[in-house]
Amino acid sequence: MLITIVSVVLVLGGLIFFHELGHFAVARFFSMGVSTFSLGFGPKLWKCKRGKTEYALSLVPLGGYVALVGENDQSEIPDGFSEEECFSLRPAWQRFLVVLAGPLANLLLAWLLYTGLALFWGTPILLPEVGSVQAASPAEKAGLQPGDLILSINGRSLANWEDMSLAVSESNGQPMDFAISRKDGDHLTTMHVTLAAERSTRKTIFGEEEVAWLVGVRSSGHVEARKESLASACVSGFEQTWKMIALTCQGFVKLVERVVPADQVGGPIMIAQLVGDQAKQGLAGLLALTALISINLGILNLLPIPVLDGGTILFCLCEMLFRRPINKKVQEYAMRVGLTLLVALMLFATFNDVMRIIKA
């Protein structure tokens, strides 16, 4: 329990703090006033003042906040600050960049974490190794067996299972030459088999059925860590971050399309459970989960919902497009609607979490 609590505090607190750090860094770059930068919420346990900004450590360590001068109203300028430092009086493009910096900081953090994982633990590669063979499939008819390592298809070397799957899907049912390595006692034997994929259906990661060219094999699940240099780790980190961003965005779309059931939406309780479980498995798994949560947090904040960063970004874009601010009353009404939607979503997600615990 102690490991879970500490892990949840460090992960969620760190992610939200990094998010706020993005806002803070860009605001200070534009010389905007920041009255307070707090690590945590609630009563302040420690504080100090550097320049005009008060830096604080607060009681509740789940996150942090940045208090921008005149964030909502130019009349809300604390003593010691000038109108030139007021956030609401700055050009729309500057406010846009300050708000955008928070979600981008979360995506940057994910890239740093994935890069660190690739550098120190290596990049996990799912080997093109057969785990099982479907009965009466092209693979069974050609003589493929569990444990066979597929080396190449039509002379095209395979680095991982994804390469194998892509080569099969691009074959369009044409005969393929599989070079495989098979263990025979203490010896490895290389052989070639010829087979043609068949049109069939399979389920996607979101549970949808899709038509694809298949040979009837499943992965063994064996993973190999590929060592990376600093440069290649940075590239691998970017590729993994981009892949997870695309997958997360696709997940949001599938949720709206109701392909993904609404009861799969999770909230703080589910996140705490996942973090606790990964913390017990080891640091590498915990860092990978942290990167994924950071991506989800960044993308969620980019949704064009008032009270989220995406809503403010939308207001700034409209102001830049129409060259005048959105009416204050319209913004206030939109904020109320956005807050209602956000609270409803949080309650729904928490309800799902509780129901999962009850059913477990």
Tell me which amino acid residue 192 is: H
- What the block records as the tokens of 154 is 């039509």
- What the block records as the tokens of 225 is 């860590």
Are 342 and 308 a contacting pair, CB within 8 Å?
Answer: yes
Are 37 and 50 a contacting pair, CB within 8 Å?
Answer: no
Q: Which residues are catalytic?
A: 20
- What DSSP designation does 327 have? P
Tallying the residues shown for the chain, one arrives at: 360
Are 278 and 228 a contacting pair, CB within 8 Å?
Answer: no
How far is the C-alpha of 228 from the C-alpha of 49, rounded, in Å? 43
DSSP letter string, 167-212? HHHTSTT-EEEEEEEEEETTEEEEEEEEEE-EEEEEE-TTS-EEEE
* Token pair 């044409």 in the structure block, residue: 174
Q: In the Cβ-directed half-sphere of 249, how many Cα atoms lie within 13 Å?
A: 10
Three-point CA angle 9, 23, 7, nearest 5°: 10
Radius of gyration of the chain (CA): 26
Are 101 and 18 a contacting pair, CB within 8 Å?
Answer: no
- Distances in Å between the Cα of 120 and the Cα atoms of 36, 116, 129, 232, 275 are 36, 6, 25, 12, 21
Show Cβ contacts of residue 50 under 8 Å, excluding neighbours closer than 6 positions.
none
How far is the C-alpha of 357 from the C-alpha of 359, rounded, in Å? 6
- What the block records as the tokens of 185 is 């006692």
How far is the C-alpha of 67 from the C-alpha of 37, rounded, in Å? 7
How far is the C-alpha of 91 from the C-alpha of 315, rounded, in Å? 12
* Token pair 């993005």 in the structure block, residue: 22
